[in-house]
Amino acid sequence: MSTDDDPLVDARDTTRTEPPESRAPHARVPVRIEEALGALAMALIVAISFGNVVVRYLTNVSFAFTEEFSVFLLVFMTFVGASAAFATNEHIRITFFLDLMRPRARLLAEAVTLFATTAMFALVVYYGAQVTYDEWYWEETSPGLGYPAWIYTIWLPLLSLAILGRVVGRAIAVFRGRVR
């Protein structure tokens, strides 16, 4: 079996040195958006944590907001990274078994993966939106700073929609044969 005949091999074998556009030629929305947002979230986590460590060392007092913001930024970064991973076909999978399959079996495995991912993130959108609405309706506040809790949870369904967009874009590209 030649890997030249397989439409899914080239997308998996790319390196991180290539620009995101070449790793996701089918993507209509640039992957650089997710990469920039993920880098910004990471930079903010580092700055907040570093600032907290310095202040705690010098004054023996900790910033109250650091844990609340850091946890939010970590979740945000995870979802943005998942969106980029699906756009560039770098999401987690067991390639040992996938590499043993014939092209049609790989396509079936890809279809199952895309369906399961779509179902899971559709549920996250649905239940995340319900949680966000409940927090807004009942005016829940965050325990650390007392901010409205929905400003943190609204990102769960919104970023899940972004992931769903990337998954659907990947599915269209795979089944149209545009992804090699």
pTM above 0.95, yes or no: no
Range with the lowest mean pLDDT among 3-7, 65-69, 140-144? 3-7
- Torsion over CA: 159, 161, 162, 168 (sign): positive
Instruction: Name the token pair of 35.
Output: 């990469």
3-state secondary structure of 31: coil
* Per-residue model confidence as pLDDT tens digits over 122-153: 999 999 999 999 999 999 999 888 999 999 99
* Per-residue model confidence as pLDDT tens digits over 36-60: 999 999 999 999 999 999 999 999 9
The predicted pLDDT at position 66 comes to 87
